[in-house]
A = this chain, B = another copy of it.
């Protein structure tokens, strides 16, 4: 069964060829009397084989595939925050300092930060003082702005 299917094309072509040749024979027989004007006969043969060739080509040649690549733009909403660890290392800002900085940026007072981190107010002050030096800032607001520009803090949190 599989073999039959496999050779179906070949059989089809052979059959077509046979029919064509039969047709040629028939035409030959029909126009045998008017040999002087066998131009018509030739013409018919030509047309027939031309058509046969076209049909055959359609069957034989693999279809031309013209691949058109259409680029579709997909928008990515936001580029999420990635901590600039290089900058963090270069300025030698410690984890605890960054922690304090983050809470600062959220609008907390030193006292609130101290309570949140379970340390004394003085400790927070020390951390903030170190931060200002490392960030070359005079005030906490400036430190926050600089830190955001350096990607040490997300632009807007929440």
Contacts and interface: CB of A to CB of B under 8 A. Distances in A.
Interface in A55-111: 55-58, 60-79, 104-109
A35 B32 CA distance: 12
Contact of A76 (B52, B61, B76, B145): B76
Number of copies: 2
Contacts of A50: 49-50, 52-53, 56
A124 interface: no
A149 interface: yes
A139 B35 contact: no
A149 B141 CA distance: 16
Interface of A: 24, 28, 35, 38, 42, 45-58, 60-79, 104-109, 137-146, 148-149, 155-158
Closest 7 CB pairs of A and B: A53-B53, A107-B142, A57-B57, A155-B155, A63-B64, A49-B49, A63-B66
25 contacts: A35-B35, A42-B42, A45-B46, A49-B49, A50-B52, A53-B53, A54-B54, A54-B56, A54-B60, A54-B61, A56-B57, A57-B61, A61-B61, A64-B65, A66-B67, A67-B68, A68-B69, A70-B72, A72-B74, A73-B74, A74-B75, A105-B141, A108-B142, A148-B156, A149-B158
